[in-house]
Structure 1
Amino acid sequence: MLQFDNLSGDLRKKNLSNADFSYVDLRNLDLSYSNLRNVDLSNATLTNVNLTGADLRDINLFETHFIYADLSYTNLSGVDFNETDLSYTNLRNTNLIDAKLISVVLRGANLYGANLYGADLTQANLTGTNLINANLSNSNLSNSNLSNANLMSANLKNTNLKNADLRNTDLRDADLTGANLTGVNLVGADLVGTKFDIIID
């Protein structure tokens, strides 16, 4: 595995697969459209990094710091985020199919149009998150905090929302057909045009 202590310069469209960036400070770098598959980013700092369009499959993200990073249009399918802090990141149109996002902090993140089909977001902090047009079908959002999030036109079919906090959430035109709404807090939520049937266990 390639090892680095620090990086600088133009790293766009580079093949960096299998590299070891553990504990490396990568803040403010441009890694857009690079191949970062199977990279070790454990304990790395990626604050304000540009990862637009990068291939991030099979990466190690243990205690990685992504605050304000741009992860739009990246491939993160099946990735285990291990309680990663993704506050205020740009995840627009990102592939997060089957991603493991248990207890992840996504406060204020932009997930517009992201594909989170089958993702596990148990106990995730999604306060104030932009999830407009996101696909959350068949995902697990049990015990998650979605207060003040924007889920307008989101696909939440067959999603597990048991005990989720949806206070003051924008759910206009969202589809919650088949969703588990046991113990959900919908106080102040905008439900205009929302589709749902009540499934309680």
Structure 2
Amino acid sequence: MKELERYYQILELQSGANLEEINEAYRDLVFVWHPDRIPYDNLRLQKKAQQKLQDINEAREKLRLYKLEHEQYSCSQQRECKPFSSREKIYSPSTSYKAEPYKKDLSGKNFSQANLCNKDLSGRNLSYADLSRADLSDAFMHKAVLRGANLSEANLLRANLLLADLREVNLRSANLIGADLSGADLSGADLSGARIRSGSRLMVKLIGTKLSGTIMPDGRVYT
């Protein structure tokens, strides 16, 4: 329990905060401590920001998993409780398709123009899914598998794509401002026309990102 208290403190929350409060605190702190907001020549602050971001990500993930496990345990005791709350369901206005976000295999599904803002899709298999023009702003997609997916014109504002599999993904004309792609694999991806800068400043985190064969926003191929 002491470890959980530490995670709440990292996110500047009171003990027992719900998942919505955890996600909101996470987004606020990522906005404040994202290394791209720190002057690149200030190495001390850059190092501090990277450590802060690592702690924030860990705290959010640990508390999220704790909440899910606790809910599953409560359900098993009550027997009649549903595994997923209605507010956590994914809804696509264009197809009236509903899916449970905790179902791992969503490969090939149609989420075109879907409102997935703030959704937790971490670890999900979305390979070859159609997410064109979807709103994925502030979505948490840690270690998500999106190989070959269509994300053209999608809004990925501040999306967390840490360690995601984005090989051969279509990100043409997508909005990636504030997105975190640290450790992600973008090999062979197409980012033609994608928004990654504000003025001359790069606004996407690409620490440790694999870019072999990636088509960059300006059309050049990264080698």
Taking structure 2 as the reference length, the TM-score comes to 0.56
Contact 2:195 2:217 (C-alpha < 8 Å) held by counterparts: no
Q: CA deviation at 1:154?
A: 0.4
Q: Within 2, Cα distance between the matches of 1:114 and 1:84?
A: 17
1:68-113: CA deviation from partner (whole Å, max 9, x where unpaired): x982462110001131000000000000010000100000000000
Task: State yes or no: 1:179 paired with 2:209.
Answer: no
From 59, 62, 65, the equivalent of 2:94 is 62
From 77, 81, 84, the equivalent of 1:10 is 81
1:149-188: CA deviation from partner (whole Å, max 9, x where unpaired): 000000000000001111211000101110111427xxxx
1:123-170: CA deviation from partner (whole Å, max 9, x where unpaired): 000000000000000110000000000000000000000011112110
Q: Which residue of 2 is the match for residue 108 of structure 1?
A: 138
Q: Within 2, Cα distance between the matches of 1:70 and 1:153?
A: 27
Q: Within 1, Cα distance between the matches of 2:148 and 2:187?
A: 11
Ranges in structure 1 where 5+ consecutive residues have no aligned partner: 1-8, 13-29, 32-45, 52-58, 185-197
From 83, 88, 98, the equivalent of 1:48 is 88
Q: Within 1, Cα distance between the matches of 2:212 and 2:108?
A: 25
From 178, 192, 215, the equivalent of 1:162 is 192
Q: Which residue of 1 is the match for residue 37 of structure 2?
A: none
Q: RMSD in angstroms over aligned alpha carbons?
A: 2.7
Q: CA deviation at 1:47?
A: 2.5
Q: Within 2, Cα distance between the matches of 1:60 and 1:109?
A: 15
Q: Which residue of 1 is the match for residue 123 of structure 2?
A: 93
Contact 2:143 2:165 (C-alpha < 8 Å) held by counterparts: yes
Task: State yes or no: 1:199 paired with 2:221.
Answer: yes
Q: Larger C-alpha radius of gyration, 1 or 2?
A: 2
Give the total of aligned pairs. 138
Ranges in structure 2 where 5+ consecutive residues have no aligned partner: 1-79, 198-202
- Higher helix proportion: 2
Contact 2:88 2:101 (C-alpha < 8 Å) held by counterparts: no
Q: Which residue of 1 is the match for residue 104 of structure 2?
A: 74
1:11-48: CA deviation from partner (whole Å, max 9, x where unpaired): 33xxxxxxxxxxxxxxxxx27xxxxxxxxxxxxxx533
Q: Percent identity?
A: 28
Contact 2:185 2:211 (C-alpha < 8 Å) held by counterparts: yes
Contact 1:73 1:91 (C-alpha < 8 Å) held by counterparts: no
